[in-house]
Structure 1
């Protein structure tokens, strides 16, 4: 599915290879369907939903991604850690649906109904635009039906969808080359465009060599036409770029360049500036003038016209051949040897720097096992490798290489939202281009239409550039198509609130309140979700509208539906505690709401302790403090011995203080062995151990310890 394999090129750079078969030019992928053992049962991403109609998924709508999963994979060849979470969900793709499409297209490809075939191909490629092989099949079908213009348009659309697909570029250029009398400059522009867009792709060697072969064919055609200005300077420019570009077969390109340099005069290959510099050095070294080192000669060739109208050189005369004599220049053998040596030395320095770049990327490239698109999920090591590779390139800081790597990554990883979000954020941070960033989010939506995180990220970007209307529109469209996401509802309300704050419109604030109330009303069948939204609305009233009374009213109403929700009581108390407009009586009444409820005894003890702390620290009525202290110890006395809670005065060994023993010289008439009380006992007050002196009746000391004191006898 859209696989671009690397292929070793032959040693010859001949543009036209007579032995080349069509099956080789348009190779089918034997492993196109090798991943047939797909997971049928996809785990879906969990969503927080209620049973209300507002939060139920419409029938037939696509489900989201599964819950996160990962592994303990570690690769010592990776030199960086990903900057985002390394846990990826299963792509939300129905593999059976993809298989059905493949079957349908196989049948359509054999029919003569062009309209039906176009409809099927377009629908499939709209859903799966990264499937390189089907763009090629579609173009071939149009060509088979004689629709060359439509075939060209299909190639163009495929390249726009997968700009780094080397096979698409080569298929397109192969079709164009076969058009008789096609303008040379137009074909050259096509190759230049391909090199500019996809030349940095790591497996782009074939594209570079095809472009070099094309320029060589143009040079030979000019020679055969007797063009005195014929030269290979464009070949030299392409080789110079290729020698400095990290590619899969980079190690073989210097040798290829040397072989070509040895078959041609240097002035035809080098730029005028470089050739002048080298000739100046050679003349100084040999102590001769340039005129003494260059000779005019005539070269004879046997030419033949090819099928596409371009001429080439053959070795033997035959039918359709003709001789051609060309005026040229030749260098002195000694000077030629020095010139070639200097050219090779310069290119070797470029080559060595490039090989170092290849070496530091070799570990990442070796871990890329599936560089093409497929609906089957990628395994965790490959996903981790892509993230690490991206972080490495971002750290290196070469923007062209970073962009190319993102584009490469988003072919096999197109179904993973993490990479799209990372790409969009990097693009905005680097280029500050709203257009480029939006294009990425638009493409991402094609591949991940049900991604909540993608919608949130897109909306967040629009809001960050103060485009509130589009930010709200993105969220609104998603919530209508995929209802039930609590996080989405909160982001939607947050965007509305921030827009209202910015615009200062009272009607917008009322709309936010209406949305909150609608969510609360629609979630009454789910107490937890109802309480959740009620808490959010209460905070909105307290913090944004500065109305704590109304906030408490919302919480009280929620408590009628979810009376055992501890968080509602805590928030109710916190609103009173933290509000400047609330009086001491309001705070105490808020505590009493929790204490008079049907909460567990342990929870009531915690609220009681907080109330006691408030009275001690901020209270003004001593009678109220003492009354509540009695109430608090009464609650403590009701806690069973086997229950341990974390609060002051309860089950705290540091608060049990024992009396110091009597001095040894004092007579001890009677001192029975009294077992120390167990630490899990909860007395009303900490007690000192009983001591009998002079046979007097035992005395009991009750002391309330306010600060921990450690006894020497413990």
Structure 2
């Protein structure tokens, strides 16, 4: 069944075995390419192993009284499960211990907590129902069934278990009891009747109607299931034939259909008799008349003709349904684990679900396209009526196909509940039709099944913001940050949400708080400081405050090259006449800091470029140039010492440093070549971590360690400018 079964003990997805349910041990083979009779049958594959309801109470001992002290090891196992709620084994250990102790209160507490987190585990819903029923709490058992069916409405076994609970507890002599049972059956087939494996539910409904003496209702249910592509589709038609042959057509068919077929068959009989009478009249003696047929009675011949007409109509329905089954058979056969389990699905299983969804959606698109086609011929009155009927049928087909797509999505999300992409596919399918339905899917995914997956939570927040519900978007991100503290991308999403909403002060406050809270983690502190400085400079138009943020960050992390680069770019982005001293001071600070040779060269080059572009005197330009040349000489000397073995080879300069030093050695001795390069991108004005799109932040800060920012040293600063070699005097 969709949603039931397991691969190992204690998975909680068990196969229901009820005496009142139809116990079918054989299934037909896949539909043939053509339309021959389905005479052969093969043994059905075994259902996934699991515990039966009786295994919950092996020994017929009395459970502890309610309100008693919890078992000795309960608190230890309870704490282990709650400290690591994603560990399925911890939960099953707790539940197994409560089961062994047969303690009602402990079992109830453990089951409620477990099922709130794993509502797709059908077997544990059944255990909970059986626990309450054995304790005499029939009302509580019914409440548990209803609660479970809200969490897993496609569970055929849970519906059957609920119905059998009602059959065993309700007084069927009361007039309201049959009505209530029938109402539950209708809810069941409405929720799960289109499941490919829903045969047992339909069979139970049909047999119950027969037991109530309602042959007409039983036939109506059979008529409905004949249109549903299920695994045992052919057996339903056989049962319909048997039911029709064992009961008068008047007691099986609806009044309208019976009267229609009766009139049709009588007219056919009269025509046949008139033809026969004409043949016999020539040979009959004069004055002799044929015996009259009594009025108001249906002859056996008429009844048989009515049965033939009924089957003639149902044959067409059966053939159409067989075609639908044939289309789906290979898809269904490829699905090996249609129930929930925490174990990952293999790639082929995931692809099987995707392929099935693709096909079902394509069928819906085909029906939709057909329903929107306009007639090309001139419409007469008759053709208008025909077109209207066809349009109504097309709309019904689209609605039916849409329902099938939704049912398939729900089935898929039982087996693939832990995979974000299937939830997102469902949201994308529902959103054009109903924002509320798409929101409900997000809510189920994020609050129950994927509580520790940040991507889908952020997608939910984006969804709410796009539809104008900023309060809900804030709530989603706040809840995510609370459940996964320290995830930098979530704090950034919160800050950017407030900025887009026009709440600049709140955006600044969020980043300021992040800066303050991350002082014990220098790398993360530097990252947040750069983000805050960028916001203050570009949005807040407050360069002095942005400068102060970066300077304070440098006091904590003087060896952070990204902070030096960001501060330099901040200073260089201001008024060039007023920024010369600040730029020179920034470069001097960086050269005195414990930075890599590559970073120092990069900053020196940037300072030289700024002086070249904006210096007010040639003397100040030459001063910067000589300082840059001095740095190059120092780096060249360090490199030569390393080549001569004066240093550990592991401390040799990187290839980028080699290339930069080599450029200065290529010039003649009397004419030094200026190794000035293309300026680096603005560190404050540009967010390189988000270049791949809003959701494509660098992978580092989706991890708790926050190891690096990505490469800031790959800008290609080694290519020298082609300045005139005699522009500067030799140093």
TM-score, normalised to structure 2's length?
A: 0.63
The answer as to 2:309 corresponding to 1:339 is yes
Equivalent position of 1:401 in the other structure: 404
1:146 is displaced (CA, Å) by 3.3
Equivalent position of 1:31 in the other structure: 50
Equivalent position of 1:686 in the other structure: 667
Equivalent position of 1:609 in the other structure: 605
Q: What pairs up with 1:444-455 in 2 under 5 angstroms? A: 444-455=446-457
**2:474 aligned residue (472, 475, 483):** 472
The answer as to 2:84 corresponding to 1:103 is no
1:329 is displaced (CA, Å) by 6.9
Q: What pairs up with 1:511-522 in 2 under 5 angstroms? A: 511-522=506-517
**1:569 aligned residue (564, 582, 585):** 564
After TM superposition, the structure 1 stretch with the greater mean CA deviation from structure 2, 549-558 or 578-587, is 578-587
Equivalent position of 2:524 in the other structure: 529
1:205 is displaced (CA, Å) by 1.2
| Equivalent residues of 1:170, 1:207 under 8 A apart | yes
Distance verdict in 2 for CA 1:344–1:473, change over 3 Å: closer
Write the distance in 1 (CA, Å) between the matches of 2:627 and 2:294.
Answer: 117
- Deviation sequence 1:552-587 (CA, Å, 0-9, x none): 221122112212222222222333445579856278
Equivalent position of 2:173 in the other structure: 181
**2:545 aligned residue (543, 547, 550):** 550
Distance verdict in 2 for CA 1:262–1:60, change over 3 Å: closer
| Equivalent residues of 2:547, 2:570 under 8 A apart | yes
Matched positions, count:
550
- Deviation sequence 1:650-700 (CA, Å, 0-9, x none): 849xxxxxxxxxxxxxxxxxxxxxxxxxxx955444359xxxxxxxxxxx9
1:531 is displaced (CA, Å) by 0.4
Distance verdict in 2 for CA 1:92–1:122, change over 3 Å: closer
- Deviation sequence 1:453-508 (CA, Å, 0-9, x none): 45434443443333333333343344345432222222233334444x1xx6xxxx
Q: What pairs up with 1:37-436 in 2 under 5 angstroms? A: 92-108=86-102, 118-178=108-168, 179=170, 180-181=172-173, 183-218=177-212, 221=213, 232=216, 234-250=217-233, 252-263=235-246, 269=252, 288=271, 330-332=300-302, 335-336=305-306, 339-340=309-310, 342-359=312-329, 362-363=330-331, 365-379=332-346, 381-394=348-361, 396-397=363-364, 398-416=401-419, 419-420=422-423, 422-424=425-427, 426-433=429-436
Write the distance in 1 (CA, Å) between the matches of 2:100 and 2:47.
Answer: 14
Write the distance in 2 (CA, Å) between the matches of 1:265 and 1:289.
Answer: 23
| Equivalent residues of 1:537, 1:554 under 8 A apart | yes
- Deviation sequence 1:49-74 (CA, Å, 0-9, x none): xxxxxxxxxx989678xxxxxxxxxx
Equivalent position of 2:24 in the other structure: 9
- Deviation sequence 1:249-294 (CA, Å, 0-9, x none): 3354444444545555556555667667777877787783999999
Distance verdict in 2 for CA 1:535–1:399, change over 3 Å: farther
| Equivalent residues of 1:415, 1:448 under 8 A apart | yes
Write the distance in 2 (CA, Å) between the matches of 1:104 and 1:412.
Answer: 27
The answer as to 2:593 corresponding to 1:585 is no
- Deviation sequence 1:157-207 (CA, Å, 0-9, x none): 222222111111112222333443253332222111100001122211111
Equivalent position of 1:658 in the other structure: none
RMSD of aligned C-alpha atoms? 4.6
1:601 is displaced (CA, Å) by 2.3
State the SS of the aligned residue for 1:140: helix
Distance verdict in 2 for CA 1:116–1:522, change over 3 Å: closer
State the SS of the aligned residue for 2:119: coil
1:378 is displaced (CA, Å) by 4.3
Write the distance in 1 (CA, Å) between the matches of 2:334 and 2:576.
Answer: 63
Write the distance in 2 (CA, Å) between the matches of 1:214 and 1:287.
Answer: 40
Q: Which structure is richer in relative contact order (CA contacts within 8 A, separation 6 or more)? A: 1
- Deviation sequence 1:405-448 (CA, Å, 0-9, x none): 333233344445554455455444431116x6247515642344
TM-score, normalised to structure 1's length?
A: 0.65
Distance verdict in 2 for CA 1:11–1:105, change over 3 Å: closer
1:235 is displaced (CA, Å) by 4.2
| Equivalent residues of 1:246, 1:354 under 8 A apart | yes
Distance verdict in 2 for CA 1:578–1:198, change over 3 Å: farther
Write the distance in 1 (CA, Å) between the matches of 2:113 and 2:293.
Answer: 64
Distance verdict in 2 for CA 1:102–1:331, change over 3 Å: farther
State the SS of the aligned residue for 1:411: helix
Distance verdict in 2 for CA 1:249–1:581, change over 3 Å: farther
Write the distance in 2 (CA, Å) between the matches of 1:262 and 1:141.
Answer: 44
Q: Which has the higher helix share?
A: 2
Distance verdict in 2 for CA 1:498–1:291, change over 3 Å: farther
After TM superposition, the structure 1 stretch with the greater mean CA deviation from structure 2, 441-450 or 601-610, is 441-450
Write the distance in 2 (CA, Å) between the matches of 1:135 and 1:469.
Answer: 35
1:133 is displaced (CA, Å) by 2.0
State the SS of the aligned residue for 2:50: coil
Distance verdict in 2 for CA 1:450–1:157, change over 3 Å: same
Distance verdict in 2 for CA 1:473–1:333, change over 3 Å: closer
Write the distance in 2 (CA, Å) between the matches of 1:217 and 1:329.
Answer: 28
Equivalent position of 2:43 in the other structure: none
Equivalent position of 1:226 in the other structure: none
Write the distance in 1 (CA, Å) between the matches of 2:402 and 2:534.
Answer: 44
Specify every segment of 5 or more residues in structure 1 that has no aligned partner in the other structure, as ranges: 13-26, 34-58, 65-90, 223-230, 299-326, 653-679, 689-699, 709-714
Write the distance in 2 (CA, Å) between the matches of 1:444 and 1:629.
Answer: 58
State the SS of the aligned residue for 1:433: helix
Write the distance in 1 (CA, Å) between the matches of 2:323 and 2:604.
Answer: 73
Write the distance in 2 (CA, Å) between the matches of 1:215 and 1:279.
Answer: 25
Write the distance in 1 (CA, Å) between the matches of 2:448 and 2:530.
Answer: 36
| Equivalent residues of 2:409, 2:426 under 8 A apart | yes
Distance verdict in 2 for CA 1:352–1:135, change over 3 Å: closer
State the SS of the aligned residue for 2:433: helix
Write the distance in 1 (CA, Å) between the matches of 2:81 and 2:135.
Answer: 37
| Equivalent residues of 2:226, 2:233 under 8 A apart | yes
Equivalent position of 1:490 in the other structure: 492
1:115 is displaced (CA, Å) by 5.5
**1:600 aligned residue (591, 596, 604):** 596
After TM superposition, the structure 1 stretch with the greater mean CA deviation from structure 2, 167-176 or 476-485, is 476-485
| Equivalent residues of 2:357, 2:408 under 8 A apart | yes
